[in-house]
Structure 1
Amino acid sequence: MTSPNSEPLEWHEAIFQTLKENNVQQVAYVPDAGHSHVIKRAKADPDIRDIVLTTEEEGVAVVSGAWLGGQRAVLLMQSSGVGNCVNMFSLLDSCRFPFFTLVTMRGEYAEFNPWQNSMGLATEGALELMGITVYRVNSPDEAAEIVDAGLVSAFDAGNRVAILLSQSLIGRKKWMR
């Protein structure tokens, strides 16, 4: 993906542009630094409704409701939020709703907060146990392609898809003393 002057786009912007190209009209999220660029762009875009959540499991219902209303929606969350959603993921299977989420990972590369480790290690397995196909983005140059493939799988084929944005991709978080 390139900008109009043929310079490569930052992977954050490439993800946002891929959402736009795939006609995503709603973005639901709990605020997260790893998703801040996409959130900021969604808030500024008159064609996208941004929905701030108090907890991630609300997002499963929001994106399901968007689908019933004829719109494509994505859920942005951190890996720790996946644990909050496990019970709500049963809605997706029971009702056969398509689903797409972008998950920023914690508990991986250079994690400073031990509270993030358990869910970070369990995220992929928990999603797969709930019938959600998992793809992982590890490098900036693969972000747009993997997100596009996930969106097509979710909204054209009716699958449930999670894209994990690795902690090494989103950047190392540092403890501030």
Structure 2
Amino acid sequence: MAETDGQDWVPGTYDALKDAGVSLAAYVPDGGFRNLIARCHDDSDMEAIALSNEAEGPCLLAGAWLGGVRGALIIQSNGVGNCGNNFGLTKMGRFPLLAIVSQRGSWGEANSWMMYSGQIAEPILELGGFHIMKVDHAADVADAVRAGATTAFNASQAVAVVLTQRVLGAKQFVG
């Protein structure tokens, strides 16, 4: 991983999810989120569900909400495009959706395949009606997740907390 600001954002972020009443984490496995996902799996009060495709997430979380469960979608920016149609369900049904998204294709990206998806993720989220909270520093992640959860669950909105590669570090590839 390329240099980050060196702070561990996971404990505070996990606590923010728990404090918001989140008990379901839907995710596509990702190295940048591995420690957060592991925390979700390790907590017997948190149901962590691996998705085969990001598009399953908005529907799963809408159904969970109808059943009285708060959830969060944890994905890479390259998976945002897979969710487009299902973001419509969230918008039309006024279901809350809290997404934590790692933004690829930015600071120090070494994989050219990630550039395109990283560049189009935010416009797709904006077109999907998301409130975007972009985070560049690890110290700000937990507060952004708290604020995003408040907006999502109390105002029935779609919120994306977008973590840049300055938080997560850029993955290095040898070409």
Sort the TM-score into its range (normalised by shorter chain).
over 0.9
1:23 aligns with 2:26: no
Cα distance in 1, alignment partners of residues 39 and 126 from structure 2: 30
Relative to structure 2, which stretch is displaced further, 115-124 or 72-81? 115-124
> What's the TM-score once normalised by structure 1's chain length?
0.92
Gaps of 5+ in 2: 1-6
TM-score after normalising by structure 2: 0.93
Aligned length: 169
Query: What is the SS of the residue equivalent to 1:27?
Result: strand
Percent sequence identity over matched residues? 39
Q: Which runs of 4+ in 1 moved over 2 A?
A: none
Deviates more, 1:167-176 or 1:156-165: 167-176
Amino acid at match of 1:15: T
What pairs up with 1:147-166 in 2 under 5 angstroms? 147-166=145-164
Distance 1:104 1:140 in 2: 12
AA aligned opposite 2:111: N
Unaligned residue ranges in structure 1 (runs of 5+): 1-8
Paired residues of 1:13 and 1:37 also in contact (CA < 8 A): no
Q: What is the root-mean-square deviation in Å for CA atoms of aligned residues? A: 1.1
Matches of 1:172 and 1:104 in 2, distance apart? Answer: 10
After superposition, residues 1-177 of structure 1 pair within 5 angstroms as 10-176=8-174
Q: 2:111 touches 2:172 (CA, 8 Å); kept in 1?
A: no
Question: Which residue identity does 1:52 align to in structure 2?
Answer: A
- Any conservation in 2 of the 1:30–1:55 contact (CA below 8 Å)? yes
